[in-house]
Chain A
Amino acid sequence: MNKNKSKKIIGCAWLFVLAVMMSAYFLFPQSFNVSNLILIIKNNYWLSVFIFTFIICFRGLLLVSPLSLTLASSVFFPPLTALLVNSFGILISTSLIYKFSHFLGFDKFFEKNYNQQITKIKASLHKKEIPIILLWSFLPIFPTDLIVYVSASIKIPLWKCLIGVFVGMAIINAIFIYSLNFFLPY
């Protein structure tokens, strides 16, 4: 199967999932209420954890912000579960972006939208890969997927990228999950 055909199939599958989700949202708006979702998740806890882990793992392919998903998950799951699921998901999604960023065309997207930042990151990453990746992942104002893409493009080993992103994101996720759970308990 050639590359273009694979891309078309993935694109169609993505559009289909999107159409189903949008239809469900507009047809049954009451089901998407936070209280309802909490009730559904309580009744199907392990299935919900599995589905959420799946979403977290593959969110990188849609470039959805990991922070929003982390904070949303901390509303529905206990803090430790939310942290573990998110940390595991970060490892998988980082690996996917690292391996498939060129195939999915992220290179064009990032080069077009973050050209200046990419030049700066490439210059500063030299010989300080882990600290820079860790710091970048920790700061919520910078898109984490961008540093993963740049790491892949300049052939930084995957393990260094994973360590940096995992530690940086774990620290910031722990802070936000704890804060949300403590200050605004549901």
Chain B
Amino acid sequence: MMQTKITKKSWFKPLVLVVIFIGLIILIGRIVIFSHPRPMQFYLEFLDKRSERNLKITTYSKEEFFQKYLNTNNDESYQVNNFLNLFNEKFNHPVAKENNFFIVYRVPDEKDACLINIYGINKKRDLVYVSSQNICLKYEQK
């Protein structure tokens, strides 16, 4: 009886520690990945590479995104609400997915009908990612 109790205790404590450790890894991973364009780029490329989709993914700070896609340089527009308003003015497309941290849009490309551009905007941090994917069947393009 005594031995059973000792054995149970011997794996219960490490199990609790492992669960806490995993929780911490997830929490820290989430904070690090969603805080800066570089770790986000790394994470998205990892997902893309392992799922064999070969997408083109680029991450930007909101300032860089504004300069490249919206042709504006106004500091005030980097604030979240202004950013989203300006984004909607430019692309005018419904939200595809949304959670506490990100808003994701799927917008058809203006030049290429086969391309869908995905724009992910972090609501709280200075982070935007853009990804393009081909939705046409290969033999249709020929």
Contacts and interface: CB of A to CB of B under 8 A. Distances in A.
A34 interface: yes
B51 A180 contact: yes
Interface stretch (A6-14, A70-78, A92-100, A111-119): A70-78
Given A128-B11, A130-B15, A185-B97, A30 B52 contact: no
B109 interface: no
Given A182-B99, A184-B131, A35 B138 contact: yes
B138 A33 contact: yes
A175 B30 CA distance: 11
B22 A135 contact: yes
A184 B48 contact: yes
Contacts of A134: 15, 18, 22
B47 A180 contact: yes
A6 B133 CA distance: 46
Contacts of A138: 22, 25
Interface residues of B, number: 38
Contacts of A68: 50-52
B97 A71 contact: no
B7 interface: yes
A161 to B, nearest CB: 13
B115 interface: no
A171 interface: yes
A61 to B, nearest CB: 21
A33 B26 CA distance: 33
Interface string B25-67: 1100000000000000001100110111101010000000000
B10 A128 contact: yes
A35 B48 CA distance: 15
B125 interface: no
Interface of B: 7, 10-11, 14-15, 17-18, 21-22, 25-26, 43-44, 47-48, 50-53, 55, 57, 96-97, 99, 102, 104, 106, 118, 120, 129, 131, 133-139
Given A71-B51, A134-B18, 6 more contacts: A34-B53, A36-B138, A39-B137, A127-B7, A184-B131, A185-B118
7 A-B pairs closest in CB distance: A71-B51, A131-B14, A131-B18, A128-B14, A33-B138, A131-B15, A30-B139
